[in-house]
Chain A
Amino acid sequence: MTIGGERGVSREALKDEGLVSPAPHDAIITRARELLRHRSSGPDSQRGRDEALVDPEKLDRFMSLIDAQGVENYHPHHTGMGADFPITSVDLNKLATDYLGQSKVGERSSQPPAPNEKEVLDYVLFSGYLPPPDGHPFTTWDMTYDRIFRLLGKVKNGASVRVHIVGYPWAIGGTTSQEWQKHVHDEGFDAYGRALAPYLKTLLEEKPGSRVVLQANSFGALVSDAIQARLLEVYKRDPSQEDPRTKIKVLLDTPADNATIARGIRFSTLFLAEFAALFANPKTRDFVVAMAQDSRAFNIFLKKHTSDSQEVTNSIVDTKWDLWHMIKGRVLKAPDEFRTFIRRSWKF
């Protein structure tokens, strides 16, 4: 199967490059097929449930279109602070049009309604910390799939909806530098606020009446908080601009939202314990080993195929100040000002 439009490559070809870890998208579809088989052979009460599964091939096609837009819209966001953030986005109205345009749903027309300008919604996702080369927009792509599926009802009702996914500068496709690391050392998460607030401001000002929802977990929640604080600071300096508090809603899931020493100790201990647990389980250990093999394969691949022979050379050491500030935690500034919903799936 080939995805990614003209630039797409087959999954088989990727395996030929020496990339070894398993394909999650395929596994999700396999599971959907299992569910469908189970339901069709189950008792009537089970078959009659309202959870009628669509054909797994349709799910596959829809998710492939999400993937393709993610790849196609990927770009580095230049900050002028010694860091470029890898960012991508998915336009849900285009997604629906592309998907339904390919579909033959009975005899009826299945085109989605044209998006209106009355309800313009931008979701911006920030993932947690993962060491390089991870931390790019695709690191937690399941968050993206889930958010997009949940927003399809709004697309159906004619809203104009996009989902943006922000990666970090140390990851694949990003750029970091001594200058950036000094900013993080000196300013902590406020450096992220200064670097990314202009990106958010562009979204807020792009269309009148637009609303932005920030969805962030763990490390990403602290980044999100810093951006909100920066936007508010800029607004208070120049109140002639639109108040960002009227347009932004925030969904946070983080255990790092205070800065006590006790929390820092618990957090770092459990963070390390989690990595230890990853290596203790043979299945997850194999996965981590496969990731390392893939990184090596990618570096060889780049050397072989690119003119500048640039490699992904960032290491976890390049993120030491980011880690330090995450362990220290941050007293969130924004929830008192912005409409914020916080949940803690991690208890510390």
Chain B
Amino acid sequence: MDEAYLRRFLLHMITGRNLYVAQESKRGLGIAIDEGHFLDRADDIPKWSRMLAHLESNPSTE
């Protein structure tokens, strides 16, 4: 298999397919399918956001 095309397809996997998140769901939030289960990653967004803010923060202010 041509490596460039494989990488191209893997990129699609990330952006479009297996991490399916419905724009509309029963709670009006994003839902990801993981192993056929519905994992609500929308609840994780504030936590992810806090961790990223922590990475950005100036050590002297902590």
Contacts and interface: CB of A to CB of B under 8 A. Distances in A.
B29 to A, nearest CB: 6
B51 A306 contact: no
B3 to A, nearest CB: 9
Interface string A111-153: 0110000000000000111100010101111110110011011
Given A74-B10, A172-B9, A302-B5, A59 B48 contact: yes
A140 B35 contact: yes
Interface residues of B toward A: which range? Answer: 35 or more
Interface in A145-178: 145-146, 149-150, 152-153, 155-156, 172-173
**Interface class of chain B by DSSP:** helix
**Which of A106, A149, A306: most chain B Cβ within 10 A?**
A149
A110 interface: yes
A24 interface: yes
Contacts, number: 201
Given A7-B4, A24-B19, A146-B44, A298 B36 contact: no
Contacts of B45: 28, 31-32, 35, 53, 59
B48 to A, nearest CB: 4
Contacts of B37: 274, 345
A153 B51 contact: yes
Contacts of B52: 54, 58-59, 62, 149, 152
B19 A278 contact: no
Interface stretch (A97-105, A227-235, A334-342): A97-105
A123 to B, nearest CB: 15
A51 B24 CA distance: 23
A67 interface: yes
A153 B39 contact: no
A11 B17 CA distance: 12
A73 B36 CA distance: 27
Contact of B1 (A67, A113, A302): A302
A278 B14 CA distance: 21
B6 to A, nearest CB: 6
Contact of B14 (A58, A141, A287): A141
Contacts of A323: none
Nearest to A127: B35
Given A28-B30, A71-B7, A74-B10, A59 B49 contact: yes
What are the 7 closest A-B residue pairs judged by CB atoms, nearest first?
A: A27-B21, A24-B21, A24-B19, A128-B35, A51-B46, A149-B48, A138-B13
A9 interface: yes
Interface string A266-307: 000000001100100001100100110010001001100111
Contacts of B39: 142
B33 A3 contact: no
Contacts of A3: 11, 15
A310 B7 contact: no
Contacts of B14: 25, 67, 70-71, 138, 141
A54 B56 contact: yes
B55 to A, nearest CB: 5
A3 to B, nearest CB: 7
A127 B17 CA distance: 16
A198 interface: no
Interface in A76-114: 96, 99-100, 103, 105-106, 108, 110, 112-113
Contact of A149 (B6, B35, B47, B59): B47
A24 B32 contact: yes
Interface stretch (A14-22, A188-196, A242-250): A14-22
**Which of A27, A31, A32, A51: most chain B Cβ within 10 A?**
A27
Given A24-B32, A30-B23, 7 more contacts: A14-B12, A22-B21, A31-B30, A112-B55, A128-B34, A298-B12, A301-B5
